[in-house]
Amino acid sequence: MSISPLQKARAAYAPKLPPALAGGANVKVNEGVPTTAVADVEKIRAIFKTTFGSPVLTFEAGGSAAAKAINVGVILSGGQAPGGHNVIAGLYDGLKSLNKTNKLYGFLKGPDGLVKDEYMELTDAIIDAHRNTGGFDMIGSGRTKLETDEQFEAARRHCEALGISALVIIGGDDSNTNACMLAEYFKSHSIPIQVIGCPKTIDGDLKNEWIETSFGFDTACRVYSELIGNIGRDANSAKKYWHFIKLMGRSASHIALECALQTQPNIAIISEEVAEKKMTLGQIVDEIAAVVAARSAAGMNFGVALIPEGLIEFVPEIKVLISELNDLLAANAEKVDAMEKADKVKFALANLTKESAAVFATLPAGIQMQLCNDRDPHGNVQVSLIETEKMLAEMVATKLKAMKAEGKFNGKFSTQVHFFGYEGRCAAPSNYDADYCYSLGYNAAALIGAGRTGYMSSVRNTTKPASEWIAGGIPITMMMNIERRHGHDKPVIRKALVELDGKPFAFFASKRGEWAKETAYVYPGPIQYFGPSEVCDLVTKTLMLEQSK
């Protein structure tokens, strides 16, 4: 296998650890008071009978627990995020620090591997080949949800067969919720298998008072910001294009906000604000067109606009339209399927409610066609396929044409569109993510050593040097509330959306007027792994602002 010069050099990087873990994963455990849940306390307590109410844990160096040999399993769950391999490497090293004969098994292709008993034993050679690398290819990942008793029983059988007494599940909010369900299942059935979660997602929406950030968010945002910066510089050099850049992140707009803070684009739309203000698509288009026209009047027929991937589902009127379309097309499936593509659009226009028909009529023809024709196996509109960046560019062009006719715009408007997502999910982790992930994994070993279950690995105070990082564990139940999912009440970890009264958004909101008018682009450049600390050891602007006094 060929590896690049950078990968070779980077393999030697030794990630930093919190002081509590510097002497190994055998730690002194400080217990806080019993915890509850963020909401719906009694319901959560009823579901998590044996795991509910555990205390927050904080670690100190120098534990003295007996360290009998154990076998542990690890699972990568859901979408890729930079640093997953380092979580596993930290876990491996932490387990070995507890007892050299401890074994770590990786279940393959996500939770499926646990259910289907597909695994590999992780060795020094495998771990060393993956230190500080991106990707989840060491053991693969998958999107199967661990939810049913059958799955839990299969998990028990396969763990028992391998002598596994602890599982570490690396995943997002849903995966950690399910990790906690599994912990509860095991504990309530007196099955001696611990379950520990680790917070992963580039989307940055798994965070709260105790979990500062999910891993991968830092690296992914830096890759996107590198590209946005390069494009901004191009826009400012060629002076002839508006670049509409869509950024991955289906529900929350943390990525768009962080990238905006790093690069200072002319426009960045934040879905949470759109929802809060109940903005229409027309209003969004008008606002963008107004910025374009103002810059053009100042001689600048170019710009950069950031669009969060999930935007369209946050626009109230579009939400209603899509739901009506789903019902309409499903109710008339046979008739509609027999129609020509263009006739489906006419059918929709004629049969939607007046309000939704009016919204539908404002959409570009290509999007109308797509909404009526590209449906998933359940007959639903495939929102994720909608090229929002193209749609907005087209609608803004139409608006500007109208403004031109009214004498309110006298410039040029040419666009380029981009979508960044896959470019960042498997980047090699930044120093921040390399350190944070390794610490999360090592810390998971400490939680296992301390005999805990239903906990999420927690490393805090990460805006400070690693020598001040705080390691410990957070009961997953305390992050939960009850939400309606697919028609059922479910206990879930509350998703962290962008808070409009939080400091990152407030800072952005205080600056965006200036960034719209001026060309204030910042060019972050590519992630650096060597060289001066002020270049290599960065923390996201989001976290810096959140933690600022």
Binding-site residues for diphosphate, please?
79
Binding of residue 134 to its own copies (CB under 8 A): yes
Tokens 């909401």 map to which residue?
Answer: 39
Distances, alpha carbon 194 to alpha carbons 47, 208, 445, 467, in Å: 18, 23, 11, 29
226 binds its own copies (CB under 8 A): yes
Sheet holding 242-247, edge to edge: 267-268, 303-308, 242-247, 415-420
Catalytic residue among 203, 218, 433, 435: 203
**Residue 4 interacting with its own copies (CB under 8 A):** yes
Backbone angles phi, psi at 331, to 5 degrees: -65, -25
Catalytic, 40? Answer no
Residue 129 to residue 114: CA distance in whole angstroms: 23
Q: How is residue 538 written in tokens?
A: 């960065």
Give the Cα separation of 101 and 90 in Å (integer): 16
Rg (CA), the chain: 25
Q: Are 15 and 88 in contact (CB under 8 A)?
A: no
Binding segment for its own copies (CB under 8 A), chosen from 134-142, 283-291, 344-352, 452-460, is 134-142
Contacting residue, 135, 282, 316, 411, with its own copies by CB under 8 A: 135
Phi and psi at residue 540, to the nearest 5° = -60, 150
Minimum CB–partner distance for residue 519 and its own copies (Å)? 9
> How do beta strands 55-61 and 27-34 pair?
antiparallel
Establish if 6 lies at the interface with its own copies (CB under 8 A). Answer: yes
Q: Which of 114, 181, 231, 256 binds its own copies (CB under 8 A)?
A: 231
Whether residue 10 contacts residue 428, with contact meaning beta carbons closer than 8 Å, is answered with yes
Nearer to its own copies, 94 or 229 (CB): 229
Q: Which residue lies nearer to its own copies by CB, 163 or 525?
A: 525
Q: How far apart are CA 236 and CA 310, in angstroms?
A: 28
* Nearest to its own copies of 137, 483 (CB atom): 137
CB of 385 to its own copies, least distance (A): 11
Q: Which stretch binds its own copies (CB under 8 A): 165-173, 237-245, 398-406, 459-467?
A: 237-245
- How many Cβ atoms are within 10 Å of 162's Cβ, its own excluded? 17
Contacting residue, 97, 133, 176, 542, with its own copies by CB under 8 A:
133
Shortest Å, Cβ 176 to its own copies: 20
For its own copies, the closer CB: 330 or 342: 342
Give residues 307-366 in contact with its own copies (rule: CB under 8 A): 342
| Binding site listing for Mg(2+) | 173
Least Å distance between CB 59 and its own copies? 31
Q: Is residue 164 within the footprint of its own copies (CB under 8 A)?
A: no
Measured from the CB atom, the residue of 145 and 490 that comes closer to its own copies is 145
Q: Does 538 bind its own copies (CB under 8 A)?
A: yes
**Which residues does 505 contact at the CB level (< 8 Å), separation at least 6?**
257, 270, 272, 273, 498, 499
Please give the angle made by the CA atoms of 525, 526 and 528, to the nearest 5 degrees. Answer: 115
What residues contact 161, with CB distance under 8 A and at least 6 apart? 117
- The binding track of 92-111 with respect to its own copies, each residue x by CB under 8 A or -, is -----------------x--
Total residues contacting its own copies (rule CB under 8 A)?
62
| CA dihedral (369, 374, 379, 385) positive or negative | negative
The footprint of its own copies on residues 394-453 (CB under 8 A) is 416, 418-419, 422-428
Closest CA to 320 of 290, 269, 278, 366: 278
Q: How far is CA 382 from CA 342, 357, 456, in A?
A: 18, 19, 34
Report the nearest approach of its own copies to the CB of residue 153 (Å).
27
Q: Report the nearest approach of its own copies to the CB of residue 358 (Å).
A: 24
Interaction residues for its own copies, span 502-531 (CB under 8 A): 520, 522-531
Per-residue binding letters, 241-280, with its own copies (x by CB under 8 A):
x-x------------------x-x----------------
* Nearest in space to 473 (alpha carbons), one of 437, 492, 448: 448
Q: Give residues in contact with its own copies (CB under 8 A).
A: 1-10, 79-80, 109, 133-137, 140-141, 223, 226-227, 229-231, 233-234, 236-239, 241, 243, 262, 264, 342, 416, 418-419, 422-428, 520, 522-532, 534-535, 538
Q: Which residues are catalytic?
A: 203
